[in-house]
Amino acid sequence: MKMNLDSNLVSVAWLNSHIDASNLIILDATINKVIDISSVRIPNARFFDIKQKFSDVTAPFPSTLPSTEQFQKEARALGINSDSVVVVYDDKGIYSSARAWWLFKVFGFKNVAVLDGGLPEWQNNGFTIETYKFEDFPEGDIEAKLHSELMTNFDGVNDFSLDKNTLILDARSEARFKCEVDEPRAGLRRGTIPNSNNLPYTVLLKGYKMKSVEELSKIFNNLVEDNIKVVFSCGSGITACILALGSTLCNINNLVVYDGSWTEYGTLT
């Protein structure tokens, strides 16, 4: 039986109860995961390779947005159809899964959700896991259409930093934002985007899971004014998408992710 999604975040209990839906595609978006027959997964999950398949590997900065053609080709190779329901998870709880979720939004696919708590929460609840097996999928028919307004680049974020109707939120830790510690990327200088504010992505989480919408609303209501554009940045465009997810759950619209984030900005300035 086919189904549709009505939320951008689903629980492990929900996924377990719908796991046999005919149009469900479960994606493991764990970053830098080496897939072999010893790797565990939620049953029938397919590996969404952010770094190699769903990034522009020719770009100078990590995790750069792929072309529309690349995204469509790789999503079809995973068997994703226009009428699929996609649930994305990772092995940290909520981390890179939010980036995968945002990529689907950027390319016009709306029937996608993040699994709250990811693989750790799935295992904590005692649900079935299995090991990966090498498999091919029937080619999907998903049609990708770029929504460029959901992403920005170096020039765009410079303009946004001068716009009084735009709020830039940086998802890095407070210590990194305040330039108290070195950046994890070798050779990258410390610093912040002008006129940006700090909201560490960890503030939105409670353990492996997202905080409740009520708790998230209190966080964002203290930062985001009505009718303002919100731009999210981080180190390399991954955890910025966690802020985008939290904002979306609070029905905040007009959201943009800075694709290159501090890795690009700190290199080019």
- List, for residues 244-267, the tens digit of each pLDDT value: 999 999 999 999 999 999 999 999
Of these residues, 179, 234, 241, 250, which one is catalytic?
A: 234
* Half-sphere CA count of 163, side-chain side, radius 13 A: 14
Does residue 1 carry a pLDDT above 80? no
CA distance 85 to 6: 10
Window from 7-11, 80-84, 114-118, 183-187 with minimum mean pLDDT: 183-187
What local confidence, expressed as pLDDT, does residue 62 receive? Answer: 86
pLDDT tens track for 37-53: 889 999 999 999 999 99
DSSP 8-state assignment for residue 201: G
Does residue 217 carry a pLDDT above 80? yes
What's this model's pTM, rounded to 2 decimal places?
0.96
Calculate what percentage of the chain has a pLDDT beyond 90.
Answer: 89
**Owner of token pair 């050779």:** 187
* Rg value, the chain, Cα: 18
- Residue 234 bears catalytic tag: yes
Q: Under a CB-based contact definition with an 8 Å cutoff, are residues 48 and 40 in contact?
A: no
